[in-house]
Amino acid sequence: MITVLAGGVGAARFLQGLLAVHPFSDITIVSNVGDDCEFFGLHVSPDIDIVLYHLAGLADEEQGFGLRGDTYNTLDALTRFGYDTWFRLGDRDLATCITRTQLLSRGLTLSQATAEIARALGVPVAVRPVTDDPLRTKVRLDSGLLDFQEWMVHRRAAGPVREVIFEGAERARPAPGVLEAITGSAAVLLTPSNPFVSIAPVLAVPGVRDALRETGAKVVAVSPIVGGAAIKGPAAEMLRDQGLKVSPTAVARLYVDFLDAIVIDDVDSRLAPEIEALDRPAGRPPLAVTVTDTIMASMEKKAALARAVLQAAGLTP
Amino acid sequence: MITVLAGGVGAARFLQGLLAVHPFSDITIVSNVGDDCEFFGLHVSPDIDIVLYHLAGLADEEQGFGLRGDTYNTLDALTRFGYDTWFRLGDRDLATCITRTQLLSRGLTLSQATAEIARALGVPVAVRPVTDDPLRTKVRLDSGLLDFQEWMVHRRAAGPVREVIFEGAERARPAPGVLEAITGSAAVLLTPSNPFVSIAPVLAVPGVRDALRETGAKVVAVSPIVGGAAIKGPAAEMLRDQGLKVSPTAVARLYVDFLDAIVIDDVDSRLAPEIEALDRPAGRPPLAVTVTDTIMASMEKKAALARAVLQAAGLTP
């Protein structure tokens, strides 16, 4: 069994590769829910959906969100009624949100609703929200506290970010199966996702980080930082805002208490020694570093990266 | 002031003519809500919307529902999630439903939500649901009781209809302004709408029928039955199911306790004497009959019909 802690697009692309080289029935995806939001009374789970859409072969991969060939007729009509429509929900994407909202209003948990939606979209992999309880990522700027999507989409992730908080995290319980997946897997993989707003909200659910520390699974992260920049999104700026170097070493340090290995890009190979030399909690061996091509520019490269990650986890793919 | 009791398409078309010949600020539309329904968690008010869309110049007049040029991408995507999609809500139509649902969930009444939507669509006329309370039309067939839209749209109004009931009607209160509009107007007009499923649910709200009996306004109906058939919809079959003749006389009889005049089509002119001879409650003069062309085939004809109706109500348009 393999458990994958997943954020948005980076996770979705990595998972495409993983599914190409590993049996899907052996994989559990644990998804961030901190970027869930409500628009027009509908419950939107952007990270869950982008993963589902990619795995269903329906994603608009160029745009990085939503469904390929989707239209925006409902959204455009909503502007007439005074709604903000900077969060671009396409017409078919709305159908997913309407379905999720309906399932939740009938009393299903987010886990159950996600399973229903995955089944309808023909995604055979288990996709679990990290929690069924409300957990919302908020970003503090000098000007105040913003909802995650308001900051990320509407403000285009403009910084500096002073703090990221996960509202509700203290009271959030891990969704059924999440801790079991982490403790019962041979490997736990952290996708190349933003450490602060994609992976951190997963780790913020009480019990998750402890399970990662205690699991017998090999825990392997793929660095989302390559050559001093983020592959996508504001991770580099967020590292800089904290006075940290934009490097895989900074990423490794964030996970140093539970990680076994990190996969970094060829361009960063010179950093392997400093990562291997990072201080570790008592009893933990030095971090292992795998150097490979982490840029997922094609299906072949996604599969190759997945193979390298599985090898780093001690599995022969 | 003129008050118009309105059903769906027939009402919408008649109102287009009325607005062409009478100042809109003098008109209050009281709409049927018995055909309101919920699809996908959204509150749909088909009769209100078809009137608003016609008056906004946005209606798909050929199809008889929805918005001109609308698409069905969300609806088509919903089929994947197992939803019945026989009720054709277009993408832009959904925006209206999403808005209404949101406004209601924020605690606005249906009257208030309707006013907001009308304003956003640029409809300057007062459109009031007859009640803000739940009132749902149901149709009893030999096979059982059906929700109105299930019968009307999904079953294509297949009969015979044994009974029409208005669930919630006994407890429904007239929406603010409804009784005042009826009692304070110079004329109350009944649009050429189905007497059993468009007008009857309006009359079923306690106080409405009494207000019509007691108002000093001239109450004038336009017959939806022309030449032994309904202009649109199942009114003729419903008359037959009750063993009644399919004629304006049968329509007039349904309103005989409060009507002052009925406008019938040229092809039914021979029926004027039998309508004028209908038994009336004590103190009421015989029903007046106006014979004219009631087929609203063009804007000119809609306006001409509206003029004839206003004249029948003693108003010079």
pLDDT of residue B231: 87
Of A301-310, B154-163, B284-293, the poorest mean pLDDT is in: B154-163
User: Of all helices (H) and strands (E), which one includes residue A75?
Assistant: helix A73-79
**Residue A213 near residue A248, CB atoms below 8 Å:** no
pLDDT of residue B317: 53
- Which 3 state secondary structure label does DSSP give B256? coil
pLDDT of residue A317: 53
- Which 3 state secondary structure label does DSSP give A265? strand
Q: With an 8 Å Cβ cutoff, is A36 touching chain B?
A: no
Give the rounded distance of the alpha carbon of B289 from its chain centre.
21
Window A:55-94, CB contacts with B under 8 Å: 70-71, 73-78, 80-83, 90-92, 94
Contact (CB<8Å) B94/A92: no
Tell me how close the Cα of A167 comes to any Cα of chain B, in angstroms: 23
pLDDT of residue A223: 97
User: Are β-strands B261-265 and B187-190 bridged in parallel, bridged antiparallel, or unpaired?
Assistant: unpaired
- B84: pLDDT strictly greater than 70: yes
Pair of tokens at residue A63: 């745009």
Q: Which residues of A touch B41 (CB under 8 A)?
A: 98, 101-102, 105
Q: What is the dihedral of CA B7, B10, B11, B12, to 10 degrees?
A: 120
User: Of all helices (H) and strands (E), which one includes residue A187?
Assistant: strand A187-190
- Which 3 state secondary structure label does DSSP give A76? helix
Rounded CA-CA distance A239/B24 in Å is 61
pLDDT digits (tens, 9 = 90+) for B12-69: 999 999 999 999 989 999 999 999 999 999 999 999 999 999 999 999 998 889 999 9
Q: What is the dihedral of CA A149, A154, A155, A161, to 10 degrees?
A: 0
Please tell me which of the candidates B76, B92, B105 has its beta carbon nearest to residue A77: B92
- Of the candidate CATH numbers 3.40.1390.10, 3.40.50.10680, 3.30.70.120, 3.40.50.1980, the domain formed by B6-135+170-312 belongs to 3.40.50.10680
- B2: pLDDT strictly greater than 90: yes
- Read off the pLDDT of each residue in B147-155 and give the average, rounded to a whole number: 93
**Residue A149 near residue A37, CB atoms below 8 Å:** yes
pLDDT digits (tens, 9 = 90+) for B197-256: 999 999 999 999 999 999 999 999 999 999 999 988 899 999 999 999 999 999 999 999
Domain residue ranges in chain A: 2-58+122-133+176-312, 136-169
Question: Across all residues in chain B, what is the average pLDDT?
Answer: 96
- Of the candidate CATH numbers 1.20.1250.20, 3.40.50.10680, 3.30.750.24, 3.40.50.300, the domain formed by A2-58+122-133+176-312 belongs to 3.40.50.10680
**pLDDT above 90 covers what percent of chain B?**
95
Which among B49, B87, B94 is the top mutation candidate for probing chain A, defined by the most A β-carbons within 10 Å of its own β-carbon?
B94
Q: With an 8 Å Cβ cutoff, is B299 touching chain A?
A: no
Label residue B277 exposed, middle or buried (CB < 10 Å: 0-12, 13-18, 19+): exposed
ipTM given for this complex? 0.89
Q: Give the global pTM.
A: 0.92
Q: With an 8 Å Cβ cutoff, is A138 touching chain B?
A: no
Q: With an 8 Å Cβ cutoff, is B210 touching chain A?
A: no
Q: Would you write out chain A's pLDDT as a tens digit for each of its 317 residues?
A: 999 999 989 999 999 999 999 999 899 999 999 999 999 999 999 999 999 999 999 999 988 899 999 999 999 999 999 999 999 999 999 999 999 999 999 999 999 999 999 999 999 999 999 999 999 999 999 999 999 999 999 999 998 999 999 999 999 999 999 999 999 999 999 999 999 999 999 999 999 999 999 999 999 999 999 999 998 899 999 999 999 999 999 999 999 999 999 999 999 999 999 999 999 998 899 999 999 999 999 999 999 999 999 999 999 75
- Which 3 state secondary structure label does DSSP give A2? strand
